[in-house]
Amino acid sequence: MKYVKIISILVTFNLLYGQTTEEIMKENKEKLTDIQHYVTQSCGTEPAFDNEYWDNKEQGIYVDIVSGKALFSSIHKYDSNSGWPSFYQPIDKEDLAFKQDYELILPRTEVKGKDSDSHLGHVFNDGPNPTGLRYCINSASLKFVSLADMEKEGYSQYLSLFN
């Protein structure tokens, strides 16, 4: 909640004083915890089963920790037994960027926030129906906004996902 409020204040400042989105995101990056910075800015991976949202069952949305953009919803979240939050689809695929990742022996598809250019995780072709995809996302790259707090935090446009 606190981080989303900071983003809302920064967006208001941007509208009033002409600060660029790049400047806002630079400031947001400076406020990241060590693990959030490592994951989002250095393409890191947090430990499986030892992260904030891997087993979160509460209804709500998951927003980019840097840009504040709503990316994933709890209605698309499922237990993949991977130890990381997994979703079979994003709220809007247009808000994500994809890049081939050759860090391991087999190539993977990296998922990044389109606005923030932050590393989120990877997408695999072993997910459930209806998409067959598994967006395996690091908790450290996300901020969870509960259904009860969505309107207060400025995400009321996503309430219809839960009707």
Q: Are 122 and 110 in contact (CB under 8 A)?
A: yes
| Other beta carbons within 10 Å of 24 | 19
SS3 assignment, position 60? strand
Residue given tokens 């890049």 in the structure block: 99
43 among known catalytic residues: no
| Separation between Cα atoms, residue 25 and residue 22, nearest integer Å | 5
Catalytic residue among 32, 123, 136, 150: 136
Residue given tokens 């130890």 in the structure block: 83
Closest CA to 41 of 56, 55, 31, 51: 31
Residues with a catalytic annotation lie at 136
